[in-house]
Structure 1
Amino acid sequence: MKWITRSHVHVDRVACPWLISRFIDSTAEFLFVPKNQIDKVAQETGAIPFDAPGVELGHHEGRCSFESIILKYDLKEPGLLRLAKIVHAADVGADIDQDPLARGLEAIASGYSLRFPDDLENLRHQFEVYDALYAWCRLDVAGA
């Protein structure tokens, strides 16, 4: 399937493609467009919009898009839910200090955006970060 979001990825717009690729759609294709073109391109391509204003898989009721996707697809793995807390805090500016790892994740996202301004290239590199962070989250919730 095709998925679409705003260009110039940052925390949520990297975390969501990672989540989609790893847990929902292993053959996902991601499109990145300016915010004002999301509806048009989604209609033309049939892509599922995420992390954009007014879309189902966006920010709602205090959730970030990563959390909205977890809710929609009924994902309940404890390590993934731990990761969601980190992503939420890093993505929702007012909540940045709700998780001790959030400022680090936000800094990493900023650094990758500076190093890799192309959104798809950025994803390719940052997916390793999310794989490692998810592995840590699984260990953390296991109490090890």
Structure 2
Amino acid sequence: MNWITRERPKIDRMACPWLIKRFIDTQAIILFAPEDQAIHQAQVVDAIPFDVPGVEYTHYEDRCTFDYFLQKHALTDPALQIIAPIIRGADTVN
């Protein structure tokens, strides 16, 4: 499956591709696009967009996209539970 996010990744957009390839989709192809083109490019290349405003895999309230992936895919590995607050803290004000 193709996955796409905004170019110039910061902590959440660096952690999410690792999470996708390690725990969700080992054959994933991760693509990056300018923010204003990410949703359109997702349609063009048949990709799932993430960490892009207005899509399913994004921030919700005080949670970052990494948190949403954990919840959506019921990922309970103890190591993920340890690093999630670190990623959230570096990416948000929480």
Q: What TM-score does the superposition give when structure 1 sets the normalisation length?
A: 0.63
Pairwise mapping of residues 55-66 of structure 1 onto structure 2 (< 5 A)?
55-66=55-66
CA distance, structure 1, for counterparts of residue 16 and residue 68 of structure 2:
10
CA distance, structure 1, for counterparts of residue 23 and residue 14 of structure 2:
14
Aligned match of 1:85: 85
Higher relative contact order (CA 8 A, sep 6+): 2
Pairwise mapping of residues 103-142 of structure 1 onto structure 2 (< 5 A)?
none
Q: Identity, % of aligned pairs?
A: 49
Structure 2 letter corresponding to 1:14:
M
CA distance, structure 2, for counterparts of residue 20 and residue 39 of structure 1:
18
Structure 2: gaps of 5 or more residues: none
Matched, 1:53 2:22: no
Aligned match of 2:17: 17
Aligned match of 1:99: none
Structure 2 letter corresponding to 1:90:
A
Aligned match of 2:36: 36
Aligned match of 2:74: 74
How far residue 54 of structure 1 moved from its aligned partner, in angstroms, is 1.0
Larger Rg: 1
Structure 1: gaps of 5 or more residues: 96-144
Aligned-CA RMSD value: 0.8
Q: Deviations over 1:5-42 (max 9, x none)?
A: 00001100100000001100111101100111111111
CA distance, structure 1, for counterparts of residue 63 and residue 39 of structure 2:
21
4+ residue stretches of structure 1 with deviation over 4 A?
none
Structure with higher helix content: 1
CA distance, structure 2, for counterparts of residue 44 and residue 34 of structure 1:
14
Aligned match of 1:8: 8
Q: Deviations over 1:115-134 (max 9, x none)?
A: xxxxxxxxxxxxxxxxxxxx
CA distance, structure 2, for counterparts of residue 64 and residue 9 of structure 1:
14
**Alignment length, in residue pairs?**
94
